[in-house]
Amino acid sequence: MSQLIIPKDYRPLLDMQQTEQGIKQIKDFFQQNLSTELRLHRVTAPLFVLKGLGINDDLNGVERPVSFPIKDLGDARAEVVHSLAKWKRLTLADYRVKPGYGIYTDMNAIRADEELDNLHSLYVDQWDWERVMNPDDRNLDFLKRTVRRIYAAMLRTEYMISEVYPVLTPSLPDEIHFIHSEELLQRYPGLDAKERENAIAREYKSVFIIGIGGKLSNGEPHDLRAPDYDDWSTPNSEGYKGLNGDIIVWNDTLGRSFELSSMGIRVNKEVMLQQLQICGKEEREKLYFHQRLLSGDLPQTIGGGIGQSRLCMLLLKKAHIGEIQASIWPDDMRQSCQQAGIPLI
């Protein structure tokens, strides 16, 4: 069994019926606020895409997508999406969306190689969003402004649900703190990446860690990112590389850092070629998505994913993501949760 956190004397603050109602209230309220903040309209997204087009997100490059043959296409294989990072950019181009506007969708995925614990499930649900931007806005200030607007929607949602259920005391700070992953490494040189996240989240309660994917001064990236959607190699005005990052908060229920979102300014032609070379993935240049980007057919965008079950889990103060969503768990994990008073759906 993967590492399971059992909070001492844990008892859910809401019963299962209230929890289901709270999940709907959070999802409805947050997506409307996100749409308003970033001027996004909702679109319908695929559950699977054809293999070999370069559209599926390969995450860290090691996760195996769930795939199956399609009878009416001569057994051509389809892959269940890992995320919609590239599909969204293609859609913005096809819909001819103007700068300053974008799309969001419900992304549902299956990640068969996920290590199951309090935060990670085989089933992934998130709001995937993408917004067209002007090429001149490829800078850190624009990234930070966008993060603050997303965080403002989270704060309003937390306030709303605490008004509906007063037992849910708000815990997010009014402001989100920004720090680059290299600064974080210099601040805590003796800790590994996850320990550094715990330390900074414990201190500030809400942080955006900039620069995820590029190697730091210790020769290692803070975390892995695919080379063909987020820009993690462009130096910014502060001298650090990376125009992407993660929203991390402190989870009081679990006593640890808690990632809510991964996002960033997307690669342009030059950056994608550079990152493909860094990762030794030059062969991807021939794929459908990459050819459209290289030909200048795709707009410059910023985008990311925000965990739906994660946000509900945080705001409803749940100890396990299985209290929010229905999934499959190891028998020993279910038994441990039952004994600890953690009711998995």
- Label residues 322-337 b or e (16+ Cβ within 10 Å = b): bbbbebebeeebeebb
Q: What's the pLDDT at 2? A: 58
How far, in Å, CA of 247 to CA of 266, rounded? 17
DSSP string, 210-267: E--SSB-TTSSBSS---TTSB--SSB-TTS-B-SEEEEEEEETTTTEEEEEEEEEEBP
Q: From the candidates 25, 35, 57, 158, which is the catalytic residue?
A: 57
Residue 125 designated active-site = no
Residue 142's closest CA among 24, 303, 314, 296? 303
Q: From the candidates 31, 121, 126, 325, which is the catalytic residue?
A: 126
Residue 72 falls inside a structural domain? no
Mean pLDDT of 143-148: 98
Q: From the candidates 114, 137, 259, 285, which is the catalytic residue?
A: 259
Residue 72 designated active-site = no
Q: Is 314 exposed, middle or buried (0-12, 13-18, 19+ CB in 10 A)?
A: buried
pLDDT tens readout for residues 182-214? 999 999 999 999 999 999 999 999 999 999 999
How far, in Å, CA of 11 to CA of 7, rounded? 9
Residue 8 falls inside a structural domain? no
Handedness of CA 95, 99, 101, 105 (dihedral sign): positive
Q: From the candidates 89, 111, 196, 310, which is the catalytic residue?
A: 111
Q: What's the pLDDT at 60? A: 57
Q: How many domains does the chain have?
A: 1
Residue 11 falls inside a structural domain? no
Q: From the candidates 262, 275, 308, 325, which is the catalytic residue?
A: 262
Least confident of 62-76, 130-144, 269-283, 307-321: 62-76
* Rg value, the chain, Cα: 20
The first and second tokens of residue 124, run together, are 């992934």
How far, in Å, CA of 242 to CA of 60, rounded? 17
Confidence band for 1, pLDDT divided at 50, 70 and 90: very low
Residue 229's closest CA among 304, 165, 145, 282? 304
Residue 163 designated active-site = no
How far, in Å, CA of 1 to CA of 333, rounded? 7
Cα angle for residues 53, 55, 61 (degrees, 5° grid): 100
Residue 126 designated active-site = yes
Q: Is 257 exposed, middle or buried (0-12, 13-18, 19+ CB in 10 A)?
A: buried
User: Strand order in 244-251's β-sheet?
Assistant: 40-42, 102-110, 123-132, 301-307, 256-265, 244-251, 206-210, 177-180
Mean pLDDT of 78-83: 86
Q: How many CA atoms lie within 13 A of 99 on its CB side?
A: 8
Q: What's the pLDDT at 82? A: 81
pLDDT tens readout for residues 252-272? 999 999 999 999 999 999 999
> The whole model's pTM is what?
0.94
What CATH number corresponds to the domain at position 328? 3.30.930.10
Residue 258 falls inside a structural domain? yes
Residue 238 designated active-site = no
Residue 125 falls inside a structural domain? yes
Q: From the candidates 58, 79, 231, 246, which is the catalytic residue?
A: 246
Residue 245 falls inside a structural domain? yes
Q: Are 101 and 95 in contact (CB under 8 A)?
A: no
pLDDT tens readout for residues 98-107? 999 999 999 9
Residues of the chain by 3-state class (helix, strand, coil), percent to 5: 35, 20, 40
Q: What's the pLDDT at 34? A: 98
How far, in Å, CA of 119 to CA of 322, rounded? 9
Residue 291 designated active-site = no
Residue 235 falls inside a structural domain? yes
Q: For residue 102, how many other CB atoms are within 10 A of its CB?
A: 26
Q: Are 176 and 144 in contact (CB under 8 A)?
A: no
Handedness of CA 145, 149, 150, 152 (dihedral sign): positive
Q: What's the pLDDT at 208? A: 98
Residue 129 falls inside a structural domain? yes
Mean pLDDT of 20-33: 97
pLDDT over 50 at 288, yes or no: yes
pLDDT tens readout for residues 220-254? 999 999 999 999 999 977 789 999 999 999 999 99
pLDDT over 90 at 292, yes or no: yes
pLDDT over 80 at 3, yes or no: yes
Q: What's the pLDDT at 73? A: 92
Strand partners, 40: 102
Domain extent at residue 145:
16-47+83-339
